[in-house]
Structure 1
Amino acid sequence: MAAIPDKIQTWQMVEPGKEGKPGVLQKTTLPMPELAEGDALVEVAGCGVCHTDLGYFYDGVPTVSKPPLTLGHEIAGTVLAGPDALVGKQVIVPAVMPCGNCPICDEGRGNRCLAQKMPGNSLGVYGGFSSHIPVPAGDLCVVDDPKFPLSHYAVVADAGTTPYQAAMRADLKEGDLVIVTGITGGVGVYMGQIAKALGAKVVLGIARNQAKLDRALDFGVDYVINSKDKDIKQIKGEFGDICKQAGVPKNVGWKIFECTGTGGGQEIALALLSFLGKLVVVGFGLQANKYMLSKLMAFDAEIIGTWGCLPEYYPKVLAMVQDGRVQIEPFLETKPMSQIEQVFEQQHAGLFDKRQVLEPDF
């Protein structure tokens, strides 16, 4: 096991971006902190680049801890110090770690605990684009028998677990009818797989890239609609044809997971919401929407928000990854962390087909 250094090597966001213009990243060092009781020091094996990170870096979405701070909340690594039972263990660091001692946590909604710690947002200056990170030890998810390189498990920390939390918010169960808008995105690819793993009867994916839509059919998706250059009427027409083909109703009971965070994706999701349906908002965006709320009354339908994932769900998602019900390898690729600026720029431009995981090379 590696020795504990006296400094943390890191890439800090010293200035956030604004209106699509990039912020400023700086390679620097931080003093190695003394661990508080109940904390662990994790040597980072890999950290995924999430759309949320790009929101902070390009759009000025505010972080709880003010810059300079290190971004990155999709982390896998090895525990170097902390509770004896964890030292030497390979772990996934939950993207949000609740306090466990407030009314929200007591209600079982700790994923939205207002005192939660989120690397790269509300964990002081610490984030995953670093050599090491101090984190609360109690919520770490141990990877006992890794089937893949440890860095690859970083995607489970958010992209793989956020859909599971969304499924729990929707009370997704065997036999349900599911629509995923943004099925080809970094979260959507796992939303479809998890929905199918939980027993959904039909999973319909909607996106704009035909090649990725074709790929989705091999990973939990039964039908796809390419929404590129189509209006809502055309999309609803295709949806109706698919429902007829599948022998299911087009206007009752669909659970819709909006994973794009875009105005267009949200418009499609709202248009398909119907009787007894549920729309779960998974993706984040800054745009406003117009919707006749009285439709919810008429449909007896629901619109639900979801945030992060309860740490207690992580072992369940990890089990799905380990036994192959959820595939991660086809949807990620690794790069040296020294390429962080180029990766941010290229991902912001939409040039990647896979989740980027940065491996420390300080």
Structure 2
Amino acid sequence: MSVPAKIETWQMIEPGKLMRTSIDVPDLKAGEVLVEVAGCGVCHTDVGYFYDGVPTVTKPPLTLGHEIAGRVVAGVEGLIGKEVIIPAVLPCNNCPICASGRGNRCLKQAMPGNSLGIYGGFASHIPVPAEDLCVVHDRKGLPLEFLAVVADAITSPYQAAKRANIQDGDIVVITGATGGLGVYMTQIAASMGAKEVIAIARNKEKLERSLEFGATHTISTQDKSIKDVRDEFRAYSKSKKLPSYGIKIFECTGTKIGQEISLELLTFVSKLLIVGFGTSKSEFMFSRLMAFDAEVIGTWGCPPKYYPEVLQLVLDEKIKVAPFVDIRPMSQIEDAFKASHAGNLMKRIVLTPDF
């Protein structure tokens, strides 16, 4: 393993504009490592930062990308040469929030491509704190770059499933079930024993595919009103004699329509988990929460402690990755951002350095 003279990177120099450039390799502090990037996933959060002007903690120029797998090339001696997944949210591990077990929302957290200085995953290398890295001991033949999606696309839904306490026999509804988060939310819900996993999305072809990966029923939103979707869900529930209460809903789109469908389906002693990021605003009569004794729960990232068990689910093929990953060279980053922004991809793009 060799330390490079420079870090090669694709920087966002301003919203909507990327530039390939070289930056200095920083002096590593105690407890830090330098990771050679094997792959970095293109997340809708990155795309939102880039196109929609959502403010990052570090102002441009900075390198986006927080869904990273790679190899340690310098720093903590016991980790050099190890293959690792970098958690998308790196907590401080030294505050009351971290001590409470909610380190995923640590106020001092570092997030590559957002609040880790100028450093992100769309680069050849990245310096990161070593404490919470997830070491990959045996990939079982799966390419390391495929595991980049564990860093966010899989662990964030897993954290949501934990917050919802999915149990055997649960009724689960997923809006955006065919998207970058939803395809894994579906598999996770099924792996945790949900009796019904009802996938809601627009694209009928993708919905059909979801039946092979955990979904038990699908509802397409194409050419339908919110009430149409609600009525179709209720009709299916009645036909299957499912309870009209205790439903666990996961909103994975981050869109106004996805949020409004989820809120419309909320009922007695049910839970709605907000998993997808977006900037849309929705109106809701909060007294319904009181009347239903229901909950709306936000969930951000995932505590690093869950990463090893999520990785094991992937390696045991209880969560399948390969059918949902599209590997492309990092030099195609602009096209990858455009394709992701358009929202019609069948797979999540993971970019591999080719500087």
Shorter-chain TM-score above 0.5: yes
State whether structure 2 residue 186 is matched by structure 1 residue 196: no
Q: Distance in 1 between matches of 2:46 and 2:233?
A: 33
2:155 pairs with 161, 169, 175, which one?
161
State whether structure 2 residue 78 is matched by structure 1 residue 85: yes
Identical positions, percent? 62
Q: Distance in 2 between matches of 1:135 and 1:357?
A: 20
1:305 pairs with 298, 323, 326, which one?
298
1:185 pairs with 179, 183, 186, which one?
179
State the shift of 1:102 in Å.
Answer: 0.7
State whether structure 2 residue 26 is matched by structure 1 residue 33: yes
Q: Distance in 1 between matches of 2:20 and 2:303?
A: 32
Counterpart residue identity of residue 102, structure 2: R
State the shift of 1:34 in Å.
Answer: 1.1
State the shift of 1:170 in Å.
Answer: 1.1
Q: Distance in 1 between matches of 2:165 and 2:78?
A: 34
The 5 A counterparts of 1:103-122 are 103-122=96-115
The 5 A counterparts of 1:1-362 are 2-16=1-15, 23-147=16-140, 148-249=142-243, 251-362=244-355
Q: Distance in 2 between matches of 1:333 and 1:236?
A: 33
Q: Distance in 2 between matches of 1:167 and 1:323?
A: 19
> Cα RMSD (Å) of the superposition?
0.9
Q: Secondary structure at the match of 1:70?
A: coil
Q: Secondary structure at the match of 1:69?
A: coil
Q: Distance in 2 between matches of 1:339 and 1:294?
A: 48
Q: Distance in 1 between matches of 2:253 and 2:37?
A: 28
State the shift of 1:221 in Å.
Answer: 0.6
| Cα displacement string for residues 281-309 of structure 1 (whole angstroms, at most 9, x for unaligned residues) | 11111121111100001000000000000
Q: TM-score, normalised by structure 1?
A: 0.96
Unaligned ranges ≥5, structure 2: none
Counterpart residue identity of residue 342, structure 1: D
Counterpart residue identity of residue 155, structure 1: V
Q: Secondary structure at the match of 2:104?
A: helix
State the shift of 1:247 in Å.
Answer: 2.6
State the shift of 1:349 in Å.
Answer: 1.7
Q: How many residues align?
A: 354
Counterpart residue identity of residue 5, structure 1: P
Q: Distance in 1 between matches of 2:72 and 2:80?
A: 5
State the shift of 1:246 in Å.
Answer: 2.7
Q: Distance in 2 between matches of 1:24 and 1:235?
A: 38
Moved more, 163-172 or 321-330: 163-172
Unaligned ranges ≥5, structure 1: 17-22
Counterpart residue identity of residue 69, structure 2: A
Q: Secondary structure at the match of 1:133?
A: strand
Structure 1 pair 279–76 and aligned structure 2 pair: CA distance change class (3 A): same
Moved more, 222-231 or 347-356: 347-356
